[in-house]
Chains A and B, each alone.
Chain A
């Protein structure tokens, strides 16, 4: 991963991976067994979808290796009229604008995922750095693009 950090040089586009199951439901993150015991049959890239903010907070006291303050939102994705499974949501940091200021968001606001190479400093907190990924997707208001 580390040699692919530059967005322009990255060989593969990062995937916001959600799982699709044989009953049509989708979960983020993926689970080995889906809702109601359903079997995983595929992957959906949530990076292709917009969503709306369900709720948000700004955390003023953050753990080691985390930006401070840290604005977080829970976003529910709009997967189109063809999807009738349980709501698909993600918790994520709210992105920063070109000046480095975190975007202001509010309940109901439309947002889109934007990839970040490192969301918090691996190894600064208690979690073993090699045990998980540290890149991922933040959210930014759609109107600001």
Chain B
């Protein structure tokens, strides 16, 4: 199987944007083509990661629209919807297209337009992924986070403040990300005094609602140097996808994300490494509690110990394992279909030495993109080519 390289990447400004989904996708797509030094009609496969452009905006058929706007005709196109993990699933589809030999040049663009909707409406669009027996009770993704955070704190005797420190860390990282929705530090008191959203979680435990897009260009590793200098591409050394129960309360251990465990096991095996070999990671911190769960279920820390790593600064930008150097979904924002793509964008920047003030020492990076409340997960491991 052919190893797959990433030779170009882009992301738009995340936040409240005037642009609609077609324009957001085209903005990121055009920038990624330019970054890789290729034209639209060089692209053989074009994937769009998007959860709900029809529900949010009444615009469907976005891959066709994007192919036309970028003059990428007659590329094969498809929309990848896996809810919040549409981006990661898109990385998987793009990787698969090149690894299989079906495409020699693939572009992935993830994007979502959300902020024109009220918070209640946007929350309901996202909550529509739930099973009818959950939806009729008015459950939302934030309420799953509140339920799980309470159980985690109770089970592992973790202090409430440790969750707040995830928000403080990721906001601090986001200050140095020019594309982030929030570039503002917050202190722990601000987090702990913010309005209650889903007891025990408060406003600053949650990512915002965001418009934005991000894009990646993929080709076989064997030809990557024909497009860009050798230190300007990174290689996908392992990737895995996995699915957990649709009904969240049916999981054997509600504080374990089985999809993270299973997808990362596949990715580690493919890459021939273990969690200790990872130098930098982007985790799906849609809610602060998710950073604890993923950091444990990826094997970085023992079960129930992830909160201690945050308390001890292990996951700070200058710590032993920097997590969410981009600011994470928490400060960068979470335009659903774009988020998993933007995670890989950050790892790509780190591995090619282009992360600017966010730069850390890293040869191996990992991105974990989670859909639903751990319902669908893609874990991607990348290596620098330096």
Contact = CB atoms under 8 A, between A and B. Distances in A.
Interface in A60-90: 60-67, 70, 72-74, 86-87, 89-90
A61 B119 contact: yes
A90 B195 CA distance: 28
B120 A86 contact: no
A33 interface: no
Contacts of A65: 138
B interface, size bucket: 35 or more
Nearest to A73: B147
B137 to A, nearest CB: 5
A57 B147 contact: yes
Contacts of A62: 120, 138, 140
B293 to A, nearest CB: 14
Interface of A: 27-29, 54-67, 70, 72-74, 86-87, 89-93, 107, 119-120, 125-127, 131-134, 136
B154 A59 contact: no
Contact of B147 (A28, A55, A61): A55
A54 to B, nearest CB: 7
B120 A64 contact: yes
Contacts of A27: 250
A57 B146 CA distance: 5
A56 B153 CA distance: 12
A82 to B, nearest CB: 20
B96 interface: no
B150 A127 contact: no
B152 to A, nearest CB: 9
Contact of A127 (B128, B195, B252): B128
Contact of B142 (A59, A67, A136): A59
B255 to A, nearest CB: 9
A63 B123 contact: yes
B248 interface: yes
A29 B247 contact: yes
Contacts of A119: 136-138
Contacts, number: 123
Nearest to B55: A126
A120 B138 contact: yes
Nearest to B119: A61
18 contacts: A55-B148, A55-B150, A56-B147, A57-B146, A58-B198, A59-B142, A60-B195, A60-B197, A60-B198, A63-B121, A63-B124, A87-B252, A92-B137, A119-B136, A119-B138, A125-B135, A127-B132, A136-B137
A72 B249 contact: no
B249 A91 contact: yes
A111 B197 CA distance: 24
B279 interface: no
B147 A74 contact: yes
A121 B305 CA distance: 41
B132 A63 contact: no
A67 B137 CA distance: 9
B143 interface: yes
Contact of A61 (B142, B150, B254): B142
B57 to A, nearest CB: 13
Contacts of A127: 128, 132, 135
Given A91-B133, A132-B136, A136-B133, A63 B127 contact: yes
Given A63-B127, A74-B249, A57 B138 contact: no
Given A60-B195, A63-B123, A89 B249 contact: yes
Given A55-B148, A55-B151, A87-B252, A61 B138 contact: no
B196 interface: yes
Among B121, B149, B150, residue most surrounded by chain A Cβ atoms (within 10 Å): B150
Given A55-B254, A61-B140, A125-B128, 8 more contacts: A29-B247, A57-B147, A57-B199, A57-B201, A72-B147, A91-B134, A119-B136, A126-B55
Interface string B233-257: 0000000000000011110101000
A61 B123 contact: yes
B125 interface: yes
B139 interface: yes
Contacts of B68: none
Contacts of A120: 136-138
B151 to A, nearest CB: 4
A67 B139 CA distance: 11
Interface in B11-68: 55
Contact of B132 (A56, A57, A66, A131): A131
A131 B136 CA distance: 11
B184 interface: no
The 10 closest A-B pairs by CB, nearest first: A57-B146, A66-B138, A63-B124, A132-B132, A55-B151, A59-B143, A89-B249, A58-B199, A125-B124, A29-B133
